[in-house]
Structure 1
Amino acid sequence: MKMIQEKYKGFATMLAYAIAPLSGIAVDLYSPSLPAMARDLHVSVLNMQASVSIYLVFYGISQLFVGILLDSFGRHRLNLISLLVFSLSSFAIALIPDIHVIYILRAIQGVSIGIVLVAKRAFLVDMFNGEKLKHALSVLTIVWSIGPITAPFIGGYLQSSFGWRYNFYFLGAASMAGFILDWIFSGETLHTPAKFHFRQIAANYSKMLGTFDFILSISLSGLAYGVAMIFTLTSPFLIEHTFHYNSVTVGYSLLVVGLGWLSGNLLGKALIKTDLNKKLFIANIVQFTTLALMILFFRIAPNLYTLIGFTFFIVMASAFIFNNSFTYSLSRFPKMAGIAGGLVGGFTYILLSGITYLLLLFIPVTELMSLAWYDLILVGGISVVFISFARYKRKQVALKSASCPG
């Protein structure tokens, strides 16, 4: 097994930061092309949006179990295989324009890129410790956020200039470059593979899934991310069909809303030490207030600026909730961080894909108010889960106080 060389550690770390955002870019790059793909493949809007949901489901499923494999068999080899599979499947989607083939290939891409992301996260854990590790993981989170922000901007221009297939050529070329560079400059970082103890692993999974606040925090993450994802899936159709703008404008619009997502994440990090329940409550109030104003302006001034302006702040508040709930769930079981990370990431994306698909299935994208209904349901769901979470935490504090009198 090829171990990483000391002289290449710095460059290999930069590669990890560069490759990790592929997981988000794989959705956002081709989102401006969804209307064109639906027309070209002669399928419905829902059929085309399902390609995103399928990717997210398998992306989530892979994260549930891949951590165990990476700890037992190493990071480097599985990472390389997955990058190659992702690259080849991207080229195949561009060359075989059939919706059913695309569904299968998107499922394969979800699994393969899930392995890559978890492997790169594990790479950083192997390379750093203490404060340096916290810094490295923080940088990874910010870099990951930048990818989906810039991807629609690039995808919009590729769609406008060359057509939707070039989005997948771009994905294939980028991941192939990552594969080649990783093969040459990176290497295995796991020195002592973990033994596979099925009973212990099953017991750990059972303990986590039986912890109420852990499950509620994951639910908050999925619902909050759903607010951003539902805009990503519906805005290309709304902007092109309702306002009659092109794919480049779609890309710019997603770029602006993506900056809202990044801002919310950065604000969440800045206020990390503030009382959790208080800041989640305020963020949810901001969501409802902004949503009420958005619905009002959709009635009196329905235009692109109204859509993007209010969505920016709703998504920003959602990102703030996501950042805090995701961080809480990841830190809930510090002694089982690997399995916890897989469960958090896996269930968040499975929940995300399920919710968004059901919303699109029962409320078709026909007008601006469709987006308002999506947001109202998601924000209402956040409120219900948050109230349950806050009550549970208060109950736990009361029980702890009662057991430690004086």
Structure 2
Amino acid sequence: MKRYQQRYEKLATLSTFLLIPLSGLVTDVYLPSFPEMQRALHTDVAGIQLTLSCFLISYGLTMLVAGSVVDTWGRYRLVLASLLLFAGSNFAIATIHHIGFVYAMRILQGALTALIVVSKRAFLADIFTGSKLQRYTSMLTVIWALAPITAPFIGGYLQVWVGWTANFYFLGAYALLALLMEARFGGEAMVRFPAFRFKGQLAIYRRILRTADFTYGLVTLGISYSMVMLFGMSAPFIIEHELGLSPIVTGYCALISGFGLLCGGSIGRAFTDAPFTAKLRYATAAEWIVGLAMLATTNWIANVYSLMGFVFALHVASGFVYNVYFTHCLTRFPRNPGVAGGLTSGGSYLVTSLVSYALVSILPATDQGQLAVNYLILALISTGLLIVSAPKSAPESDKAELAHCAR
């Protein structure tokens, strides 16, 4: 097995940063192509939206166990094999135009992407320590957020210039570039390969999931990100069908949506020391105010500018809530950060995929008014979860864990 060489540290780190946003690229780059894919693959709106849900469900389920897998089998060979399969699956989608085949490939891509992302996160912990590790880890959130902002923007131009298959050729080429960098500059950085103990891992999973504030937080994370995913699944049809604009406009609108999420997360980080429940109440109240205003103005001010103004404000609020709960869930179990991180990412993605697809299937958002109704439904669920779950301080059961971590 090829071992990691320290002289390639900067290039190996660059390769890692190229792969961290992969999940956002896979979900968002082809959003502007939804209408054309619907026609080309001879399916309905829900059928195309299901391609996104297939990926999210597979990604979320794999995330739940990916940490244990990469800690047992190592990172390097797993990443190489996953990238090769990922590239091939995208080229296959672009070549074989059958909706059932697309579903199968998206399920495969969800599992592969989870293994790649978890492996590369762990790689940073393998080669860095102390303040350097903290600095690089803090960069991951910013780098990850770039994908939802830039991917639909790129996808919109690819759709206009070439067509929907260009998005999948782009993803395949991106994976091959990363594969070449990994093969040349990467290597296995794990020193020890601990044996996998099923019973011990199961006990940790059971204990974490039985902790009420963690589980409620995980569900709230999924609901918050559902706002963003709901817009991504509905925007191409509202903007291109209802408003008669081009896929490039869809890409710009998705860029605004992602920027709102990034702003909300940044505000959340700035208010880290504010009272937990209070800041969540303000953010949830903002969702209600903006959602109701969006619904009330539908009949007399409904264009792409009003739509994106309301969407941006709502995504700032949802990004704020997401950041607050993501931090809470990741730090809730300092003795089991890997399992807690996998459950937080995987579980919230599962909630997002199920809730967003259920909403667009039952209440398809074809205009600003219906999109506002769906946003308000999500705000209602978030409000209910906040009422029954928001912790006011660190639970007593965590004191031993925090003391252990301090030692």
Measure the CA separation in 2 of the matches of 1:177 and 1:395.
44
* Cα deviation 1:141-199 (Å, max 9, x = unaligned): 10010111001010000001100000000000001110111111011111111221111
Alignment check: 8 A CA contact 2:359 2:374 kept: yes
Number of the residue aligned with 2:158: 158
Number of the residue aligned with 2:346: 346
Measure the CA separation in 2 of the matches of 1:328 and 1:319.
14
> Equivalent residues in 2 for 1:162-181 (5 A)?
162-181=162-181
Q: Does 1:276 align with 2:276?
A: yes
- What is the DSSP-based 3-state SS (H/G/I as helix, E as strand, rest coil) of the residue aligned with 1:244? coil
* Cα deviation 1:75-98 (Å, max 9, x = unaligned): 111111111111110000000010
The code of the aligned residue for 2:263 comes to S
Number of the residue aligned with 2:332: 332
Q: 1:212 to 1:256 in 2, by over 3 A?
A: same
Q: Does 1:305 align with 2:305?
A: yes
Q: 1:262 to 1:395 in 2, by over 3 A?
A: closer
Measure the CA separation in 2 of the matches of 1:188 and 1:289.
51
- Scaled by the length of structure 2, the TM-score of the pair is 0.95
> Equivalent residues in 2 for 1:20-35 (5 A)?
20-35=20-35
Number of the residue aligned with 2:317: 317
Number of the residue aligned with 1:362: 362
- What is the DSSP-based 3-state SS (H/G/I as helix, E as strand, rest coil) of the residue aligned with 2:298? helix
- What is the DSSP-based 3-state SS (H/G/I as helix, E as strand, rest coil) of the residue aligned with 2:299? helix
Number of the residue aligned with 1:294: 294
Measure the CA separation in 1 of the matches of 2:170 and 2:182.
18
Alignment check: 8 A CA contact 2:153 2:248 kept: yes
Query: CA offset at residue 366 of structure 1?
Result: 3.0
Measure the CA separation in 1 of the matches of 2:294 and 2:75.
46
Alignment check: 8 A CA contact 2:276 2:392 kept: no
Measure the CA separation in 1 of the matches of 2:273 and 2:119.
29
The code of the aligned residue for 2:59 comes to Y
Measure the CA separation in 2 of the matches of 1:377 and 1:30.
26
- Scaled by the length of structure 1, the TM-score of the pair is 0.96
* Cα deviation 1:190-227 (Å, max 9, x = unaligned): 11112211111111011001000010111111000000
Measure the CA separation in 2 of the matches of 1:205 and 1:385.
22
* Cα deviation 1:353-381 (Å, max 9, x = unaligned): 00011111211233322211210111111
Measure the CA separation in 2 of the matches of 1:395 and 1:36.
50
Alignment check: 8 A CA contact 1:75 1:188 kept: yes
Unaligned residue ranges in structure 2 (runs of 5+): 400-407
> Equivalent residues in 2 for 1:38-77 (5 A)?
38-77=38-77
- Quick one: percent identity of the two aligned structures? 39
> Equivalent residues in 2 for 1:6-405 (5 A)?
6-390=6-390, 393=392
* Cα deviation 1:108-130 (Å, max 9, x = unaligned): 00000010010111011112223
Measure the CA separation in 1 of the matches of 2:42 and 2:2.
47
Alignment check: 8 A CA contact 2:58 2:110 kept: yes
- Runs of 4+ in structure 1 off by over 4 angstroms are 392-397
Alignment check: 8 A CA contact 1:298 1:306 kept: no
Measure the CA separation in 2 of the matches of 1:269 and 1:348.
19
* Cα deviation 1:236-289 (Å, max 9, x = unaligned): 000011110010010011111111111111111122122211111111111111
Measure the CA separation in 2 of the matches of 1:96 and 1:370.
34
Query: CA offset at residue 393 of structure 1?
Result: 4.3
Structure 1 stretch displaced more, 352-361 or 99-108: 352-361
- What is the DSSP-based 3-state SS (H/G/I as helix, E as strand, rest coil) of the residue aligned with 2:335? helix
- Provide the aligned C-alpha RMSD in A: 1.5
Query: CA offset at residue 133 of structure 1?
Result: 2.0
Measure the CA separation in 2 of the matches of 1:366 and 1:145.
27
Measure the CA separation in 1 of the matches of 2:269 and 2:83.
30
Alignment check: 8 A CA contact 1:213 1:393 kept: no
Unaligned residue ranges in structure 1 (runs of 5+): 401-406
